[in-house]
Structure 1
């Protein structure tokens, strides 16, 4: 725990109804955030639970429904922070995938899958930064953007080829925006590996998701299956004053699983 290093922060988290987004929202609240804007696309009941957990940490929760692939919705999400006059930290966590784990089966995905995933995972994050830019620049210290990418975007692995490609694009965009928006805004990304959340269960089924968790615990160098809270701590660090000299970084938060991929040996 880093104490109250988010004291009075205004935080926006997209895709915050469950999993990593919820964990980020609660972590920032526990570290002193004044208000957390909780975006969700469809899961209203789950978003309400995130709001309850945030308010249990004495922060104000602001719920905003919106699809980040729609620019008008991104502007609505950012506008929810306008009464506070600034955004100290924007977490671009909303994301989606197409589950097609056999990357050799090129017929398992099509152009529409690429377009849909890019619309949310890449364009959505870009649109959120654009919509929030003036409020991020109004923060008393450089505003922080943290993009939720994936080890898939670094190693070309994961739930599908379109997903890995979209996360690779997000990593490149992180570099572009970090360069373009400095010194007023810092832009970084986290690249999680397996996270033991309901997301994998929805995509692969409960039994296979359990197997994946067991395999992660057995095969990662740190011998753990990361929880949402484990990864949230790294994401929140990148938005914190402790990372005030960090921008343009893609931080692998995967319990060391990337160490098994030869192309990353010289990273």
Structure 2
């Protein structure tokens, strides 16, 4: 653990932390000095244990807790895992789900698909904030919430229309919560573009994933296919002391992808 890091002695909760961006966030805050990281996972205990082991290797206490954020009871269980520490300095609402469907095929998704995605991507994040509120308010600084939204919610692209709609709702909810929870809690959102993880390959053949990766590298202004670490460092900034006067902000971290789909004023 790096002594004197900007997350020194922080207590952090990361939902959806078993792989990908969630894992990168958990390890990054541990590397920066966090005292404890609550590693939430929905299904894969073995992958979550790998994340916890990486967190512990950086000198932080890794606390594993299984739970589906779509369940309010599970959200309260996740928050309770931080109760022994007396506070939560940062909550990263990273858990998310999608349904892959072509946007032009309106029969490819159902009302239930919308409800399933909203249950995790929107309601789940709301329930986590509600469950963690008192512990976030107990933080000696402003408690910080960072919601993992998506460029899909800004530009209407992505894996499906329900997914884009849910992430757009998440950014709007971020504004509402930032107003409602000030001055004790800051609430911000990060909007990644393509992230080179297995999550982006779900439901797609390897050749298609390769094409998406190559397209990201060729079409983004920065000519980059972002890694989880690329996104994690920006995400963690929104919970760090350096952003102590930032709330209600949506940070696009997409190697400039949005510049090819919509003008910045579309935010």
TM-score normalised per structure 1: 0.97
| Match in the other structure for 1:256 | 256
| Match in the other structure for 1:116 | 116
| Match in the other structure for 1:29 | 30
Q: Give 1:263 deviation, angstroms.
A: 4.5
Residues 100-132 of structure 1: CA distance to partner in whole angstroms, max 9, x if unpaired?
1x2110000010000000000000000000000
Provide the secondary structure at the position in 2 that maps to 1:203.
coil
Gap runs ≥5 in structure 2 = none
Aligned residues: 266
- Do the aligned residues in 2 keep the contact of 1:222 with 1:255 (CA within 8 Å)? yes
Q: Give 1:3 deviation, angstroms.
A: 6.3
| Match in the other structure for 2:192 | 192
Q: Give 1:265 deviation, angstroms.
A: 4.5
Provide the secondary structure at the position in 2 that maps to 1:239.
coil
Task: Assess, with a 3 A threshold, how the Cα gap between structure 1 residues 2 and 19 changes in structure 2: closer, same or farther.
Answer: farther
| Match in the other structure for 1:202 | 202
Residues 5-63 of structure 1: CA distance to partner in whole angstroms, max 9, x if unpaired?
00000000000000000000000000000000000000111001001100010100000
- Do the aligned residues in 1 keep the contact of 2:3 with 2:33 (CA within 8 Å)? no
Q: Give 1:264 deviation, angstroms.
A: 3.3
| Match in the other structure for 1:19 | 20
Distance 1:23 1:224 in 2: 18
Distance 1:264 1:230 in 2: 21
Task: Assess, with a 3 A threshold, how the Cα gap between structure 1 residues 2 and 174 changes in structure 2: closer, same or farther.
Answer: farther
- Do the aligned residues in 2 keep the contact of 1:149 with 1:171 (CA within 8 Å)? yes
- Do the aligned residues in 2 keep the contact of 1:155 with 1:264 (CA within 8 Å)? no
- Do the aligned residues in 2 keep the contact of 1:259 with 1:265 (CA within 8 Å)? no
Residues 242-264 of structure 1: CA distance to partner in whole angstroms, max 9, x if unpaired?
00000000000000010112353
Gap runs ≥5 in structure 1 = none
Q: Give 1:204 deviation, angstroms.
A: 1.5
Provide the secondary structure at the position in 2 that maps to 1:114.
helix
Residues 202-232 of structure 1: CA distance to partner in whole angstroms, max 9, x if unpaired?
2323221121111101110000000000000
- Do the aligned residues in 2 keep the contact of 1:191 with 1:252 (CA within 8 Å)? yes
Q: Superposition RMSD on alpha carbons, in Å? A: 1.3
TM-score normalised per structure 2: 0.97
